Structure 1
Amino acid sequence: MGAAGSKLEKALGDQFPEGERYFGFENFGNTCYCNSVLQISSQKKKTGVIAPKRFVQRLRKQNELFRSYMHQDAHEFLNFLLNELVDILEKEDQAAKNDEETSPPSEKVANGPKNCLANGAKKEPLVTWVHKNFQGILTNETRCLQCETVTARDETFFDLSLDIEQNSSITSCLKNFSSTETLNAEDKFFCDKCCSLQEAQKRMKIKKPPHILVIHLKRFKYIEQLGRYKKLSYRVVFPLELKLSDTVEEADIEYSLFAVVVHVGSGPNHGHYVSLVKSHNHWLFFDDENVEMIDESAIQTFFGSSQEYSSNTDHGYILFYESISNKN
């Protein structure tokens, strides 16, 4: 990407952010699902091309899902990547603790009793940078319509997968995600207080919003009549500034869009992935080894198609929002 890299550096000129690196990735046969999610910042040069061959080899070795050269899912890769990072960090932390336990007595005294818990109490789970940045907490509330007792169950998440509709927005998708559902007939809820099956109302809310909110738009839907998955090219508007209100338990939370993974293609089994990334008020377009600047106004071209049949096949698929209120 010599020429393209030089072109990008020339376009940014004196505005090239200090310490930033903008690199393209070589494609090793349908590895765009991986390239669209990753970006590397530890290179000496400001721009260029990286061949992530060893990374892809390890990825295929550890997960058979990515071993074939068929079209892969960027969302599945992102989920695998985040969970694998947590596993690696937890193993490294445990190995470090094991080293401390087997170290000579003098070293143990020097380290102090910070890792020792009395009465066999459980140690707190490790909170990694993945948890700090991406993890949020959902609460699933179920209200018994007979006795009004509310049963709440919490679960953690790294991303939210949202059902989409034609000519909708992220805000409306989030409202549907948190809408109240009535459980009746065969879906009645077993109430512990009533000790019987009862009609109930169920609702999902965000109890603790993450610092980085990752939203996955469910663009691939299984159509029973067709016996296969179909890509939904629906127009779904994703704003540059997003406010969570109805979805969150407490106060309004504001987020700012900083990255989008785009699926290019008309179907789920073929196509391409590119990404849009905001860096220091500039928007960049990453397409494997090619990186270039784009205007902020160009983002709306990736909302989707307002008509069922359209020549536009470039649609926002994974959205990355950063909390404005918690931003350092």
Structure 2
Amino acid sequence: MEGLRTRKRKNPNYDFVPKTKKLKVIKNSIEVCCLKCSTLYNKEDEHFCQCKTGLINIGNSCYINSVFQVFADLMVPLYITSDSQLGLMIKSLRSYSEQPISTEIVLTELDHLWEHKNVQEDAHEFFIAMLAAFNGSVFQFSTQSECFCESCNLSFIGDLKEDNTFHMMIDGSTLQEQINGSMEEILADCPNCTWPKLTCYKTIIKPPEILVVKMNRFQFNQTTGNASKVSSKVEIPQNVEIGTKRYSLSAVILHKSRSLRYGHYTTYFHRKKILIDDEVVFYNKTLKLDHAHFYIAFYS
């Protein structure tokens, strides 16, 4: 999403085979040497090395680039075949290449899920759409609500619900406090007296493998009827817990703008201290955990 400014369109690079790796056999096992950091590692390791490959901005596509970078780094399994254009690109993003990659041919393959029209789009909406191409079950969690009616004092257990994103309210409470349980009023009829509003306390009873946290930075002004962005700093913790399961911050997608209508997305890998801005990869980059541009956090 580049908004009012659009970068010059570059010639797409459709070659997803990394040309900057050397293979050699050591004691009957294949090891790979990264030509950027000279790290030797086994080809079958879960991750290749710390080095990254950028993605070309093909016109207002930074929201696409940021999501693909996260999917690749978190090793999210594919639903479609690994030899597809998407599979080849994701594999290439897990190793270093001097030349950035274009997503154009990949988006053509996925046009039944998402049609990029060279206009501003939301990174979280694109993330949701891509769950049909990846194994979205790694993000799923279950919530249970205990509801209370203030009119007749009825208390009852609500339905079990599935979700893939935890929506963090910007209200001064911490993420861990909200994960532990959140109170909300919902417009629903009481099953006993039909009072049209219930107070519900919601908790996570089945944690996900990878926790996705979206900061609710978009608000609606009931007086003016306009939507606006909440630009306040949001402090996100390095670690969170759901029951006995402990998570640490892996990646964050940032949205830099004071408006909903334009802006720019980048991706930050907290553990690796890497910031990716489309084609450009910055190493040894440290961002404070109360950044004003944090939008979607990924814990694993």
Is the pair's TM-score, using the shorter chain for normalization, greater than 0.5?
yes
Please tell me whether residue 46 in structure 1 is matched to residue 96 in structure 2. Answer: yes
1:260 deviates by: 0.2
Q: CA deviation at 1:220?
A: 1.7
* Aligned partner of 1:31 among 40, 51, 61: 61
- 1:270, distance to aligned residue in structure 2 (A): 0.5
Q: How large is the RMSD of aligned CA atoms in angstroms?
A: 3.2
Cα deviation digits, residues 115-149 of structure 1 (max 9, x gap): xxxxxxxxxxxxxx431x11111112224565755
What is the alpha-carbon distance in structure 2 between the residues aligned to residue 226 and residue 26 of structure 1?
39
Change (3 A) 1:180 1:19: closer
**Shift of residue 67 of structure 1?**
3.8
User: Partners in 1 of 2:142 and 2:295 — Cα distance?
Assistant: 22
Please report how far the alpha carbon of residue 233 of structure 1 lies from its aligned counterpart in structure 2 after TM superposition.
0.7
Judged with a 3 Å threshold, the aligned counterparts in structure 2 of structure 1 residues 200 and 286 are, in CA distance, closer, same or farther, namely: closer
The one-letter amino acid of 2:248's match is S
Give the Cα–Cα distance (whole angstroms) in 2 for the partners of residues 70 and 234 of structure 1: 26
For 2:266, the equivalent position in structure 1 comes to 274
Q: How many angstroms apart in 1 are the aligned matches of 2:222 and 2:154? A: 38
Aligned counterpart in structure 2 of residue 141 of structure 1, from 146, 154, 158: 146
1:19 aligns with 2:24: no
Q: Where in structure 2 are there 5+ consecutive unaligned residues?
A: 1-19, 21-33, 73-89
Contact map agreement 1:23 1:291 (CA 8 A) in 2: yes
- 2:283 counterpart SS class: strand
User: Helix, strand or coil: the match of 1:25?
Assistant: coil
Cα distance in structure 2, aligned partners of 1:200 and 1:222:
22
> Offset at 1:47?
2.7
**Match for residue 234 of structure 2 among 236, 246, 269:** 236
Measure the CA separation in 2 of the matches of 1:51 and 1:269: 24
Q: 1:13 to 1:79 in 2, by over 3 A?
A: same
| Structure 1 residue 271, shift from structure 2 partner | 0.7
3-state DSSP class of the match of 1:22? coil
Equivalences, count: 241
Query: Within 5 A, what are the aligned runs for 1:1-328?
Result: 12-14=37-39, 19-20=48-49, 22-39=52-69, 40=72, 41-43=90-92, 46-48=96-98, 49-60=100-111, 62-63=113-114, 66-82=115-131, 84-85=132-133, 129-131=135-137, 133-143=138-148, 146=152, 148-165=154-171, 169-174=174-179, 178-179=182-183, 181=185, 189-191=189-191, 194=192, 196-197=193-194, 201-244=199-242, 251-278=243-270, 281-296=271-286, 298-300=287-289, 303-304=291-292, 315-322=293-300
How far apart in 2 are the matches of 1:288 and 1:223? 33
One-letter amino acid of the structure 1 residue matched with residue 161 of structure 2 = E
**Superposed CA offset, 1:175-232 (max 9, x none):** 6x61264x7xxx67433xx4x3368542211110101000111112222344332111
Letter in 1 for 2:246: E
Unaligned runs of 5+ in 1: 87-128, 245-250, 305-314, 323-328
Q: Which residue of structure 2 aligns with residue 326 of structure 1?
A: none
Does the 8 A contact of 1:260 with 1:276 survive in 2?
yes
Q: What residue identity is the alignment partner of 1:217?
A: M
Matches of 1:14 and 1:58, distance apart in 2 = 34
Amino acid in structure 1 at the alignment position of 2:297? L
Find the aligned partners of 1:269 and 1:239 in 2 and give their Cα distance.
29
The answer (yes or no) to whether the contact 2:255–2:295 under 8 Å persists in 1 is yes
Find the counterpart in structure 1 of residue 25 from structure 2. Answer: none
What is the identity, as a one-letter code, of the residue corresponding to 2:105? R
Q: Work out the CA distance in 1 between the residues paired with 2:144 and 2:275.
A: 36
With normalisation by structure 2, the TM-score equals: 0.69
Query: Residue 238 and residue 68 in structure 1: after superposition, are their counterparts in 2 closer, same or farther (change >3 A)?
Result: same
Question: 1:122 maps to which residue?
Answer: none
Partner of 2:5 in structure 1?
none
Give per-residue Cα distances to partners, 1:146-183, cap 9 Å, x unaligned.
57552320111111222213x553234446x61264x7
Whole-Å Cα distance in 1 between the matches of residues 259 and 177 of structure 2? 25
**Comparing both structures, which one devotes a greater share of its residues to helix?**
1
Distance 1:197 1:263 in 2: 42
Call closer, same or farther: CA 1:55–1:10 in 2, change over 3 Å: closer
Larger radius of gyration: 1
Give TM-score, length-normalised by structure 1.
0.63
